[in-house]
Amino acid sequence: MNVILVCAHGVSTGMFSRRLNQEARKRGMTDFSSQAVSYLDVDQYIKEADVVLVGPQVRIIQSKLKALCESQGIQCLELDAQDFGTMNVGRIMTELKSLSEIDKESE
């Protein structure tokens, strides 16, 4: 699963992305990778994504990001501000894993 985290400049989501990658390794999810990108650069990375996580900083453009994702057949989720602020990667990883399982069931 390739996850892109979108925020204003990619700094705070970069930390979140590193923690997601660490959590995936702990869980033995060898096919998982995440990276943080600025909303200004999302067009360059969107085609590589299975899921796009929208950071609280760019919530104002979530509807545009969601439309872009839907046009590409990509899941788009808003990161909960509290989970993001506390770096609760465990909860987000569980949510991502359940999305992955749903996708496998629909194949």
pLDDT in tens, 36-45: 999 999 999 9
Helices (H), 12-73: 12-26, 42-45, 62-72
pLDDT at position 102 is 54
pTM recorded for the entire structure: 0.88
Catalytic pick among 7, 42, 65, 79: 7
State how far the Cα of 89 lies from the Cα of 93, in Å rounded to an integer. 6
Does residue 7 carry a catalytic annotation? yes
38 conformational bin, left if phi > 0, alpha if psi -120 to 50, beta if neither: beta
Q: Is the pLDDT confidence value at 85 over 70? A: yes
